[in-house]
Amino acid sequence: MSNSATVSSKTWAGGRSPFNVSYGKLMMWVFLLSDAFTFSSLLVGYGAIRFSYSGSSTPWPDPSAIFNHFPFAHGYYLPLLFVSLMTFILIFSSVTMVLAVEAGHRKSKAEVSKYMIYTIIGGAAFLGCQAWEWTQFIHEGGRLDTNNFGITAQGYEHLKEAGKFGNHFEWMAGDRQPGPVPFASLFFIVTGFHGFHVLSGVVINIIIWLNVIYGTYERRGHYEMVEKVGLYWHFVDLVWVFVFTFYYLI
Amino acid sequence: MSNEHHHAAEGEYIPETYIPHPETHGTKTLWRVFFILLFITVIDFAIYFIAPAGLSRNIVFIALGLVKAVLIVGIFMHLNYEAKFLRWMIALPAAVFISYLAWLLLLEGSFVSTY
């Protein structure tokens, strides 16, 4: 290897990884790039369909008119609070994931295991929240092919009067009519597709955690698998940032 | 390479098994990013109730979302510290194609009518 210095000075001349990552991690990045295109297509499609309802007699409903519930506070008008809690849970599980990766660099098996457990709990808590949110929406009549939230002018007037943050709020007769169906179907499709990613992330995290406690990576000499699943987990968090922005904020 | 029982020398590159030596940056930055993300989410929440709905509020929400995205991808996913070619291979196609999709939506969106 007397000529190694001259070879490694040329990035694409062979004898070294131009991307300076392992094969598996490179492929994880490529997969995540393709997944980013999938989610951006879904969100752009959502935007196009939502935009097409502007000026309609059954306008696109205001998200805060629908997603304003919080567990154990039935009947109170608390828009955005529950999804903010979900965002917090996912950000927290992201930081524990990256702490597990960092502990893996130091080959500290106990710490990797601890932070992986926190991440798994965070993911499961997020899924629980999403299940509650879906149950609430289905309970109020949201279906893949039905949307009860075409809020009438009277409904918005009522919401403006009584819908103060923390107030008691119930819909009255005439406040709602059947509204744009894509609102409900896209809610299930986009949050469902994201939730399915979270579910697979939790399952993969559990598998990796089992390998950690069985000592697979200790024997292998590195914790690179934790980094790979970490990339996937952070991507799930990244997608939620945009689902949160385009579904609940805008 | 004529020796069939050749073993990988220290530092020799074998694509299938190559693992770069991990570099640690400590946990301080990670916690700082966590608190910035949390802070931005609180700001989002506040703006939602303070500012009236409209285009300028939406632009602020999207800008804050992009800041969060840059922090997650750059620090949590470690892309800031990766090799130059990897950074561009991921960032460039994502930026080009997603902004192209968004631009098409803005350009063509008003011609679509489903009601």
pLDDT at residue B16 is higher than 60:
yes
* B39 in a structural domain: yes
Q: Which domain holds residue B54?
A: 24-76
Asked if the C-beta of A185 comes within 8 angstroms of chain B's C-beta atoms, the answer is no
Q: Which of B6, B32, B36, B37 to mutate to test the interface with A (most CBs of A within 10 A)?
A: B37
Asked whether residue B100 falls in the same domain as residue B62, the answer is no
Dihedral angle computed from the Cα positions of residues B75, A33, B82 and A246, in that order, rounded to the nearest 10 degrees: -20
Residue B33: phi, psi to the nearest 5? -65, -40
Identify the pLDDT of residue B9: 55
User: Tens digits of per-residue pLDDT, A193-232?
Assistant: 999 999 999 999 999 999 999 999 999 999 999 999 999 9
Nearest residue on chain B to A43, judged by CA atoms?
Answer: B102
Asked whether residue B28 falls in the same domain as residue B55, the answer is yes
Asked whether residue B28 falls in the same domain as residue B62, the answer is yes
Rounded to the nearest angstrom, the minimum Cα separation between B68 and chain A is 7
Identify the pLDDT of residue B10: 57
Asked whether residue B67 falls in the same domain as residue B96, the answer is no
* B17 in a structural domain: no
As a whole-number percent, the residues of chain A with pLDDT over 70 amount to 96
Distance CA A186, CA A182 (A): 6
User: Between A and B, how many CB-CB pairs are < 8 A?
Assistant: 162
Distance CA A222, CA A206 (A): 18
- Are A102 and B26 inside 8 Å of each other by CB? yes
* B34 in a structural domain: yes
What pairs with residue A176 in β-bridges?
Answer: A151
Asked if the C-beta of B52 comes within 8 angstroms of chain A's C-beta atoms, the answer is no
- Tell me which amino acid residue B65 is: G
**Which three-class secondary structure string do you get for chain A?**
CCCHHHHHCCCCCCCCCCCCCCHHHHHHHHHHHHHHHHHHHHHHHHHHHHHCCCCCCCCCCCHHHCCCCCCCCCCECCCCHHHHHHHHHHHHHHHHHHHHHHHHHCCCHHHHHHHHHHHHHHHHHHHHHHHHHHHHHHHCCCECCECCCEECHHHHHHHHHHCCCCCECCCCCCCEECCCHHHHHHHHHHHHHHHHHHHHHHHHHHHHHHHHHHCHHHHHCCCHHHHHHHHHHHHHHHHHHHHHHHHHHC
* B1 in a structural domain: no
Half-sphere exposure of B28 (CA within 13 A, CB side): 2
* B7 in a structural domain: no
Q: What is the ipTM of this complex?
A: 0.91
The residue to which tokens 């008119």 are assigned = A65
Q: Which fold has domain A29-249?
A: Four Helix Bundle (Hemerythrin (Met), subunit A) (1.20.120)
Asked whether residue B58 falls in the same domain as residue B90, the answer is no
User: Tens digits of per-residue pLDDT, A75-86?
Assistant: 888 999 999 999
User: Tens digits of per-residue pLDDT, B53-110?
Assistant: 899 999 999 999 999 999 999 999 999 999 999 999 999 999 999 999 999 988 887 7
Distance CA A208, CA A198 (A): 15
CB-based burial of residue A239 (10 Å sphere; 0-12 exposed, 13-18 middle, 19+ buried)?
buried
Identify the pLDDT of residue B96: 96
Identify the pLDDT of residue A210: 98
What is the arithmetic mean of pLDDT over A186-197?
96
User: Tens digits of per-residue pLDDT, A16-45?
Assistant: 888 889 999 999 999 999 999 999 999 999
Identify the pLDDT of residue A43: 95
Number of domains in chain B: 2
- Are A245 and B62 inside 8 Å of each other by CB? yes
| Span of A112-126, A146-160, A169-183, B11-25 with lowest mean pLDDT | B11-25
Asked whether residue B50 falls in the same domain as residue B90, the answer is no
pLDDT at residue B47 is higher than 60:
yes
Identify the pLDDT of residue A103: 96
Asked whether residue B103 falls in the same domain as residue B70, the answer is no
Q: Residue ranges per domain, chain A?
A: 29-249
Asked whether residue B65 falls in the same domain as residue B29, the answer is yes
**Contact (Cβ atoms closer than 8 angstroms) between residue B41 and residue A88:** yes
Q: DSSP letters along chain B, please? A: ---TT--PPTT---TTT--PPP----SHHHHHHHHHHHHHHHHHHHHHHHSPSSHHHHHHHHHHHHHHHHHIIIIIS-GGGS-HHHHHHHHHHHHHHHHHHHHHHHHHGGG----
